[in-house]
Amino acid sequence: MVLIAQLAASFFGLLAIILGAFGAHVLKKTFTVDQLQSFETGVKYQMYHALVLLILSFNLNLESGLERNIVYCFIIGTILFSFSIYGLCISASRGKKLKFLGPVTPVGGLFLVAGWALLFYSFIKNLV
């Protein structure tokens, strides 16, 4: 599980840098201000969770069910949240908005919230 977290972290980080640069230099020519801000939000959340996954992979064993679920929530949440935003922004800028992606973004956000809630629980479970 540590390797999965590290692979996801490095891949998300790599893509966040590439997509951030792509958005700042290429897409800004075709995006509205709102689309660019949304795209940047996707990139930021992707990078935040790349860093969280990397930190977790070096600080936890990721062997318990709870720790594995934290990692899964962050990976699934990042994919659903950030990549649905990318799809919505790019498709809208081309005049063919993929509306089915609209509900995917908040589902991804719920996975991210669940990951953070599980992480919080992992820290306080022995105190309660």
Question: Model confidence over 108-117: pLDDT tens digits?
Answer: 999 999 999 9
The 8-class DSSP code of residue 95 comes to T
Where on the phi/psi map is residue 85: left (φ > 0), alpha (ψ -120 to 50), or beta? alpha
Residue 32: in which H helix or E strand, if any?
none
68-107 core/surface letters (b: 16 or more CB in 10 A; e: else): bebbbbbbbbbbbbbbbbbbbbbebbeeeeeeebeebbee
pTM above 0.85, yes or no: yes
Cβ-Cβ contacts under 8 Å for 36 (sequence gap 6 or more): 23, 27, 28, 89
Say whether 10 sits in a helix, a strand or coil. helix
Q: What is the mean pLDDT of the chain?
A: 95
Q: Give the whole-number percent of the chain exceeding pLDDT 70.
A: 100
